[in-house]
Structure 1
């Protein structure tokens, strides 16, 4: 019914193994299928066939994780992937890294923090606090403070604990409780 040449089949199976290897969390069959369909235009039935073949071949197994059946890359699957990874195209690898926000080494891309200041005409200092991920700004906030000392304190606090301050700011907007 579906025709693929053997090299394409091998690349698609390697892609499946690679996604399981670099995924930062456990993947169910459904989530893996969603990733492959949305990002690689793969056919749902082909994905299920490949999963069945990889499972029966001992490359992938199913395990229970908090009530969900998740896919596990077995040692033989990892070894095969390491041996044949050169068959995968750079664009395939880059696309997988994009799906999981990974850098070129396959490690999670850290969120970058930035804190800059510049003087305003009225003598105050504008401070920009920013978070970027994969060159995309995910958060940016400008604050005007009276002097450079306060700007320096603000920027230092942001650089030391961006997660804490970002979460606190978001919670202020999301929390439905009045604060005044």
Structure 2
């Protein structure tokens, strides 16, 4: 039982450490992806940990433009500073290596969003957005006729938003 308590504390500290090192608000899906890619914590254990950290005000969950995001609070930072020495150097090193090699990808996932909602039986509203340094580059809403089209638009936007944005700007600013 004592080992379980140590694992619980270390896993929560690991989550706080990751949030601090990311230094940007992230979605629950993105933090889950980071944790699972590195096999830090089992999915079924991770979700209650996140909920406990939120209910204890170590992590703040808030809504920003219809997207729920998470970020570490001052209380979470203080707790991490007090107990960071209980987090193994190996785990911190793994997090640091992962973030250093994937930070641009992670920030791109944060800045590029694509989702869709059902407007009625035969219409879907696709919302595509790109931000850079908290400035909106593009915020586009498009109505399409099928779920498949909505999913494809979202997928293409997430995969190649830079090229799509460039082509859109070229079309809009074409002087012909």
Normalising by structure 1, we get a TM-score of 0.52
Tell me how many residue pairs correspond in the alignment: 107
**Are 1:24 and 1:100, in contact at CA under 8 Å, matched by a contact in 2?**
no
What aligned pairs does 1:28-47 form with structure 2 within 5 A after superposition?
Answer: 28-47=27-46
- Tell me the distance in 2 between the aligned counterparts of 1:54 and 1:84: 15
**Larger relative contact order, structure 1 or 2 (CA cutoff 8 Å, min sep 6):** 2
How far the C-alpha of 1:24 sits from its partner, in A, is 4.5
Structure 1 vs Structure 2 CA RMSD: 2.9
Q: Tell me the equivalent position of 1:93.
A: 92
**Are 2:24 and 2:71, in contact at CA under 8 Å, matched by a contact in 1?**
no
Do the aligned partners of residues 49 and 42 (structure 1) sit closer, same or farther apart at CA in structure 2, a change above 3 Å counting? Answer: same
- Tell me the distance in 2 between the aligned counterparts of 1:86 and 1:4: 17
* Structure 1 or 2: more helix by fraction: 2
1:49 paired to 2:58: no
How far the C-alpha of 1:100 sits from its partner, in A, is 1.3
Do the aligned partners of residues 79 and 68 (structure 1) sit closer, same or farther apart at CA in structure 2, a change above 3 Å counting? Answer: same
CA shift digits 1:60-90 (9 cap, x unpaired): 1111234321112111111000000000111
Q: Tell me the equivalent position of 2:5.
A: 6
Q: Structure 1, unaligned stretches of length 5 or more?
A: 103-107, 109-170, 176-180
Partner secondary structure for residue 49 of structure 1: helix
Runs of 4+ in 1 over 6 A off after TM superposition: none
Q: Structure 2, unaligned stretches of length 5 or more?
A: 105-162, 168-176
